[in-house]
Structure 1
Amino acid sequence: MAIEHGMWRIGSAPFKLQPVRIENESLLEELITKDISILNDGWLLIGRQVRTGFDKFIDLLAVDADGSLIIIELKRHRTPRDVVAQAIDYASWIEGLTDSKVIEIYESFRTQHGAGELSLDQAFEKRFGLRLGDVELNSSHQIVVVAAELDASTERIINYLNDKAVPVNAVFFKVFEDEGRQYLSRAWMIDPGQTQERAAVASAKEPWNSEYYVSFGDSERRNWEDARQWGFISAGGGRWYSNTLGMLNEGDRIWVNIPKTGYVGVGIVTGPVVRADEFLVPVDGTEKPLPEASTRAKYRSKPENESEDTAEYVVPVQWTHTVPAGKAYAETGLFGNQNSVCKPRTEKWGHTIERLKKAWSVG
């Protein structure tokens, strides 16, 4: 279904802003290079105008917390269908890249485009809180087409490929002008979380074992001791962080990891995801919303004049076994991921659970 952008200025009466043409799509590429969150705040940009083995150039190349590589192609003056075909051709080359080649691409990007002094290992850990060696780099890949619009035929092609577990997506940008100021608007054709999930499924080396991984970002926004005391996990600060909590259902078993610290708990989900101010905890014989309790962290309810996306979201859990962060279980070779919740399909996940079961005497 075609996606139409619209933007209105709010006043005594709504005033519709007029879209303006991006005369040079290199400007859009430059904006994305400066801030990849324009596309997705869960990505790290690692390449620009990457020369392939058949002497063509990938516009932009990124990596996510899973180690999945994302091919980003701008439409420019090509037909949308040509862009999709070209991106699939690039994916056939990306699939065969070794870790050393990916590092070489990043080093070229870093030196040519002023991406800082950090190595790929350092940049990955700074961005995702995980060591690059803890993920399988280039175990999967995604394709993203950037365009102002797509024709119906191209939309059908993208939907067909997704139905066949080929992770292709499209993102639409428009520029609106209001009294000399310009605003960039973005809309995805498919939820990018779904594309990420398809990439993981397509690259799976073994079936999912029905055990969920949880990344708990222990910080001023949430505290592991609070979670242990009142029985919950939480995430927030943006849709990319909180949306995956919706994957969990009552009865699911979760294994909780604090990035850069280690595994700290296993438990059973007891209810659906709710906003933090809708999660009640017992305090002196009564029940209070989590943000009103004497917690160690500050849990954001829906901030005034902000989107609900920025709030903290909570999933109730009955803990089977937990340990303080200072006694977290960590060793080389355990599974790690920055997604708040995911369904790992790697041998490393099975190995991780077996090690935790033995360490914590959990069946």
Structure 2
Amino acid sequence: MPLEFGLWRVDDKPVRVATRPMPLESRLEELIEADPEILGRPLLLIGRQVQTDHGKVVDLLGMDAEGGLHVLELKRDRTPREVVAQLLDYGSWVQELTNEQVREIYATYARSRDLAEELDEAFALRFGGNVPEALNSTHALTVVASEIDAATERIITYLASGYGVPVNVLFFRYFEDEGHSYLARTWLLDDAEDVAPSPGKKGRGKQEPWNGTDWYVSFGDESGHRNWEDALRYGFVSAGGGDWFCRTLRSLPVGARVFTHIPKAGYVGVGMVSGEPKPFEEAALTVDGESRRMADLPLKGSYRASDGTADEEGGEDRREWIVPVDWEQAVPRERALWRTGFFANQNSACKLRARFTIEEVSRHFGIG
């Protein structure tokens, strides 16, 4: 049984606040949309009255901080069999949604509500991080009700506890006191496993597609060991100081397009990798049409590891690795571009799938 709420006003002597039937249970949908915090768990609302492929309409669709989807369905006046069957039908639909379809659902919702933020921005504002590369890897199903009957409780408990179906009931109580209205909430199953994998077609389409060309590069210049002015002038990106830092950079193929980001500053350049990675001591760059050893150039950064070379005994390679780049467009550090929702992580290089970042940085730098 769900926890039963009682509410008392204690300005003077305790006075119990009367529980009332919810005037319009459908108003819960409006209240949740206005403030999803009512649900008691962080969610970003991405759809309302969402049309499924089966001709049905999902009341509310939300997303959690891990990119999992949450179907919220109001019980209204339907029978237990109707509401549970509907919710399970929605579960069969939602588990098949691809990354692209999830983004389309949010875009439709944003347009209908005149929201300026794209999904990546809205996600970052809500959760303080980047949209996961894989969306809809899990899903949860929730009946939203002001009251439930014994049959609904039995069915939900049977499915969740006996068979691990990610279904639960969010149960509201409505109170009135001297012209004021209050809501209290609880879950039917506090310890239920409330998310389940959304494999769909063996996981295909959950991850945002990669175009096979674009890479993210982090150019950390805060230590002074490397300097963006050098990279901007001579055309390169670099990383080093340990295997973890240089391994991903060394995977950049010739012809890759790199979106270069300076941590705590923003995106400063987009260019094409024009040569194989080399340690600083062996690297050569093209300057005024002539190939020159990088070590012979006038540089602001040192680009030398503390021990100068790779560990001869098979330890970590602490050398600085250089990758030549022909800049399509690049700017000084003080003109770096940053927007809420842009992709950034601690890898020196990785495949860039974040469409919002690619499109906005390309647009800003005038790149097709």
- TM-score when normalising by structure 2: 0.52
With over 3 angstroms needed to count, the CA separation of the structure-2 counterparts of 1:111 and 1:8, relative to structure 1, is same
**Residue type of the alignment partner of 2:117:** L
With over 3 angstroms needed to count, the CA separation of the structure-2 counterparts of 1:129 and 1:78, relative to structure 1, is same
* Contact 2:145–2:170 (8 Å) recurs in 1: yes
Residue 145 of structure 1 corresponds to 143
More helix by share: 1
5+ residue gaps, structure 2, are 203-262, 265-344, 352-368
Instruction: Name the SS of the counterpart of 1:25 in structure 2.
Output: coil
Q: Deviations over 1:239-268 (max 9, x none)?
A: xxxxxxxxxxxxxxxxxxxxx99xxxxxxx
Instruction: Name the SS of the counterpart of 2:159 in structure 1.
Output: helix
Residue 124 of structure 1 corresponds to 123
Structure 1 CA distance, aligned partners of 2:166 and 2:349?
A: 30
Q: How does 1:205-244 map to 2 (within 5 A)?
A: none
Structure 1 CA distance, aligned partners of 2:199 and 2:147?
A: 27
Instruction: Name the SS of the counterpart of 1:84 in structure 2.
Output: helix
With over 3 angstroms needed to count, the CA separation of the structure-2 counterparts of 1:6 and 1:19, relative to structure 1, is same
Instruction: Name the SS of the counterpart of 1:65 in structure 2.
Output: coil
Residue 62 of structure 2 corresponds to 62
- TM-score when normalising by structure 1: 0.53
* Contact 2:97–2:136 (8 Å) recurs in 1: yes
Structure 2 CA distance, aligned partners of 1:153 and 1:86?
A: 15
Residue 96 of structure 1 corresponds to 96
Q: Deviations over 1:62-117 (max 9, x none)?
A: 01011111000011111234212101101111111111111111111111124x21
Residue 185 of structure 2 corresponds to 186
| Residue 13 of structure 1, CA deviation | 2.5
**Residue type of the alignment partner of 1:139:** S
**Residue type of the alignment partner of 1:90:** Y
Q: How does 1:1-363 map to 2 (within 5 A)?
A: 1-114=1-114, 116-132=115-131, 134-163=132-161, 164-191=163-190, 194-196=192-194, 198-199=195-196, 329-330=346-347
Residue 317 of structure 2 corresponds to none
5+ residue gaps, structure 1, are 206-259, 262-327, 335-363
Q: Which moved more, 1:26-35 or 1:123-132?
A: 123-132
| Residue 161 of structure 1, CA deviation | 1.8
* Contact 2:136–2:198 (8 Å) recurs in 1: no
* Contact 1:165–1:202 (8 Å) recurs in 2: no
| Residue 4 of structure 1, CA deviation | 2.5
Runs of 4+ in structure 1 deviating by more than 4 angstroms, as ranges, are 200-203, 331-334
Residue 247 of structure 1 corresponds to none
Instruction: Name the SS of the counterpart of 2:23 in structure 1.
Output: coil
**Residue type of the alignment partner of 1:145:** V
**Residue type of the alignment partner of 2:38:** I
CA RMSD, 1 decimal: 2.7
* Contact 2:168–2:192 (8 Å) recurs in 1: no
| Residue 42 of structure 1, CA deviation | 1.2
**Residue type of the alignment partner of 2:142:** V
| Residue 202 of structure 1, CA deviation | 8.8
Structure 2 CA distance, aligned partners of 1:329 and 1:109?
A: 32
Higher alpha-carbon Rg: 2
| Residue 23 of structure 1, CA deviation | 2.4
With over 3 angstroms needed to count, the CA separation of the structure-2 counterparts of 1:201 and 1:63, relative to structure 1, is closer
| Residue 331 of structure 1, CA deviation | 5.0
With over 3 angstroms needed to count, the CA separation of the structure-2 counterparts of 1:162 and 1:331, relative to structure 1, is farther
* Contact 2:176–2:182 (8 Å) recurs in 1: yes
* Contact 1:73–1:145 (8 Å) recurs in 2: yes
* Contact 2:21–2:146 (8 Å) recurs in 1: no
Q: Deviations over 1:116-161 (max 9, x none)?
A: 21111111122222222x3420111100101122222222222222
Structure 2 CA distance, aligned partners of 1:40 and 1:330?
A: 34
With over 3 angstroms needed to count, the CA separation of the structure-2 counterparts of 1:127 and 1:330, relative to structure 1, is farther
- Identical residues among aligned pairs (%): 46
